[in-house]
Amino acid sequence: MSDFSDDWLALRAPADSAARADALVAGLAGLALPADGVLAVTDLGCGTGANLRHLAPLLAAQGFARQRWTCLDHDPALLARLPARTAEWARGRGLGCAEVRAGLRPGAELELGAPAGAGWSADVRTARRDLGDLNGLRLPAGGLVTASALLDLVSAPWLDALLARAWATGSALLFVLSYDGRCELEPDLADDAQVIDLVNRHQRTDKGFGPALGPTAAATAAARCRTLGYQVETAPSDWDIGAEAPELQRALLRGWRDAAAAIAGPDLPAARLDAWLDARLAAVAAGASRLLIGHVDLLALSPAAAEHPAG
Ligand SMILES: C[S@@+](CC[C@H](N)C(=O)[O-])C[C@H]1O[C@@H](n2cnc3c(N)ncnc32)[C@H](O)[C@@H]1O
């Protein structure tokens, strides 16, 4: 169903959390709430809910004491993991998390919240949805549309269609962890540059939304948002992965080898790619490998958001 397994999302989550440009979230503080006082958040490509778990407390800290999350993904296996992963996370932080309704059709519902007196809560609904087709996607007026590690998968026409919908509803946007093509590998080994170049070309192939924006995603989104009239802020959210995360490094390097092999020409045969991978994995085993991987977070605020106070 998906290239994004539960294991892979769990493996990358600590690096994602450490990398995110959380200061951008403060820019949402002035967002006008609807009359019911609930911030509606739509999380596109939610996977097992990492964005929810990272962002909900940050939004609470900005004064959004009541949140209503709609978490959308096309992968039922990932969606099915969201309640348990979120309950486990909530328990670890002394938060409450009650599953109101389980199941995939139309989805699970959770009540997530800080203990009474601590002051915030989130109603969470998951729904299975193929976002390749945006027809019928409803975005609440004046809410927040967010996505984590999704934007580099989508195409320019898809992005334009989403932004047009978001702009029409006065939604703010927070797109985090979009890969931007920068990779610095330590130690410097033969064929690194060629492999990374192939990986970045592979990033532009169709991932289910048309030809993917890949490393150009954040810059393209920033430019198109500004053209619409959004106020845009971006900040780096680079991964800096060293000896503390050998398993994540190994998974990344194997994925890069496979992506490169899928489009490599005769100048970089499989045997050379395998030799490259072996050398890199040896550096990981020796604790000598470090991967710096460029990402960008983007916040876009609609001046119209302030004109949607009643939702
Ligand atoms: C890199 S993962 C990020 C998941 C999650 N946001 C996170 O940060 O852990 C990309 C997510 O997009 C979802 N996705 C990919 N194509 C999709 C589509 N056509 N419709 C809905 N979800 C999709 C995948 O199932 C996966 O959960």
Give the residue numbers spanning the domain of 303: 6-181+209-241+294-307
Strand partners, 292: 184, 240
Kindly tell me the burial class for residue 195, based on how many C-beta atoms sit within 10 Å of its own C-beta (0-12, 13-18, 19 or more): buried
What pLDDT does 97 receive?
81
What pLDDT does 310 receive?
36
- What is the CATH classification number for the domain harbouring 76? 3.40.50.150
How many residues in the chain?
311
Tokens for 225? 């948002």
CA 123 to the chain's CA centroid: 20
DSSP type of residue 142: T
State whether the Cα torsion 184-174-47-17 is positive or negative.
positive
Q: Is the CB of 74 under 6 A from ligand 1?
A: yes
What pLDDT does 3 receive?
79
**207 CA to centre of ligand 1 in angstroms:** 10
CA distance 293 to 291: 6
Tokens for 89? 């996370």
CA 299 to the chain's CA centroid: 13
Q: Is the CB of 73 under 6 A from ligand 1?
A: yes
CA distance 255 to 262: 11
Q: Is residue 190 part of a domain?
A: no
**153 CA to centre of ligand 1 in angstroms:** 9
Q: Is residue 202 part of a domain?
A: no
Q: Is residue 144 part of a domain?
A: yes
Residues of the chain under the 50 pLDDT cut: 1, 104, 306-311
Among 142, 183, 194, 197, residue whose Cα is nearest residue 166: 142
- Amino acid identity, position 92: G
Tokens for 129? 């949805």
Q: Is residue 281 part of a domain?
A: no
Residue whose structure tokens are 């027809």: 135
Atom 15 in ligand 1: residue holding the nearest Cα: 45
Kindly tell me the burial class for residue 37, based on how many C-beta atoms sit within 10 Å of its own C-beta (0-12, 13-18, 19 or more): exposed
What pLDDT does 184 receive?
97
CA distance 92 to 86: 10
Residue whose structure tokens are 């994004």: 4
Q: Is residue 288 part of a domain?
A: no
Q: Is residue 111 part of a domain?
A: yes
Number of Cα atoms under 13 Å in the Cβ half of residue 275: 8
What pLDDT does 107 receive?
62
Contact criterion met (CB below 8 Å) for 125 and 142: no
Question: How many structural domains comprise the chain?
Answer: 1
Strand partners, 178: 296
**309 CA to centre of ligand 1 in angstroms:** 31
